[in-house]
Amino acid sequence: MRRDLLDILCCPVCKGGLVLTVVEENDEEILEGSLLCEACGASYPICAGIPNLLPPGIE
C-alpha cells in the first residue's frame, strides 16, 4: 500500500479516519502493518502490501 492512499481511505464501518502502523516497508510501499479507526476502534491488516478493508467479522 502506498502512503498517499491513506489520504483517501476511511473506515468502511463508520467512515472515521484511519491511523497507520507500519511493521515493514520498502522505498515504494508499506508491506506489512495495520490501519486503526480513530472513531470506532476497528483494525484492518496490511499484508503483502494489500490493505484488507473488509469490516470485522466478514471473512
pLDDT of residue 59: 60
Rounded (10°) CA dihedral 43, 47, 51, 54: -60
Domain 3-51 has CATH 2.10.240: no
pLDDT of residue 49: 96
* Residue 55: pLDDT band with limits 50, 70, 90: confident
Q: For residues 38-49, give the mean pLDDT.
A: 95
CB 13 within 8 A of CB 55: yes
Please state the pTM of the whole predicted model: 0.89
pLDDT tens-digit profile of 1-42?
Answer: 999 999 999 999 999 999 999 999 999 999 999 999 999 999
